[in-house]
């Protein structure tokens, strides 16, 4: 059963979300402010967090940053803030998807299902839990990367990309699949995201980013990781 933490201070919306989620088999916790949400997330770790940004005690962006320090939960922002800058700020802080109020329940449930699938798909197992190359090591369960004996910090989004690519080692992963799994259906055409983040990964992990040995691009098609 997927555990969902709803962080929202509007009681009617909380009730509507709780009813709709529970009837579909989700395990639901609710919090009306950021501090309570962080305590709940630590005590009963959720797979997905539905997060309003306008909380009474702290900004939702700070909640995202705090969660990203220790939680692997998929974070779906549900907010009345609708400018591009505000969305980018939330995504850069570590949110996985963003939906603006007012929204249809069907759309939110579809986004939630996609978030839950991404969580399932990136759980490493067996042989692929630790990836070792001649230059860097990726410990997927521990979210630790090392290059030439030194720790390398990867952002949550970079880790999502790495996990999808490593899970498909040696196979081309299409741009659309990467966008869907890492950013969700609302960003299925934002190929510029991929270019930026793949360039960052190469700078952080490849010995020669201009001539990568592990993270390859098939122009106009997708990306491939070779061990």
pLDDT tens, 172-219? 888 888 887 787 766 767 788 888 889 999 999 999 999 999 999 888
pLDDT tens, 8-39? 999 999 999 999 999 999 999 999 999 999 88
Give dist(CA 53, CA 192) in Å, integer.
Answer: 26
Mean pLDDT computed over 145-172: 87
pLDDT tens, 42-59? 888 888 999 999 999 999
Pairing of strands 3-7, 27-31: parallel
pLDDT tens, 123-146? 544 444 788 888 899 988 888 899
CB 73 within 8 A of CB 49: yes
* pLDDT > 70: percent of the chain: 93
C-alpha separations of 50 from 63, 98, 159 in Å:
11, 10, 21
Give dist(CA 131, CA 145) in Å, integer.
Answer: 10
Query: Which pLDDT value is given to residue 156?
Result: 83
| Helices of type H across the chain | 11-23, 34-43, 60-68, 84-93, 105-121, 156-167, 175-183, 191-205
**How many Cβ atoms are within 10 Å of 57's Cβ, its own excluded?**
13
pTM for the full predicted model: 0.57
Map out the domains of the chain with their CATH numbers.
3-120 (3.40.50.2300), 130-225 (1.10.10.10)
Mean pLDDT computed over 152-165: 88
């Amino acid at each position: 059963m997927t555990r969902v933490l709803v962080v929202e201070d509007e009681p009617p919306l909380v009730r509507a979300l709780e009813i709709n989620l529970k009837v579909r088999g989700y395990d639901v916790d609710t919090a009306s402010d950021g501090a309570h949400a962080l305590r709940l997330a630590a005590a009963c770790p959720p797979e997905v967090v539905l997060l309003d940004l306008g909380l009474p005690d702290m900004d939702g962006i700070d909640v995202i940053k705090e969660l990203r320090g220790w939680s692997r939960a998929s974070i779906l922002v549900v907010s009345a803030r609708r400018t591009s800058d505000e969305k980018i700020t939330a995504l850069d802080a570590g949110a996985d998807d963003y939906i603006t109020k007012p929204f249809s329940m069907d759309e939110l449930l579809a986004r939630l299902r996609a978030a839950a699938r991404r969580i399932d798909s990136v759980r490493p197992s067996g042989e692929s839990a630790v990836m070792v190359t001649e230059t860097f090591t990726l410990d997927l369960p521990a979210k630790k990367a090392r290059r030439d004996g030194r720790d390398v910090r990867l952002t949550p989004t970079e880790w999502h990309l790495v996990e999808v690519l490593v899970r498909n080692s040696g196979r081309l992963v299409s741009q659309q699949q990467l966008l869907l799994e890492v950013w969700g259906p609302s960003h299925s055409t934002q190929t510029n995201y991929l270019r930026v983040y793949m360039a960052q990964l190469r700078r952080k992990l490849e010995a020669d980013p201009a001539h990568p040995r592990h993270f390859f691009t098939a122009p106009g098609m997708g990306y491939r990781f070779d061990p």
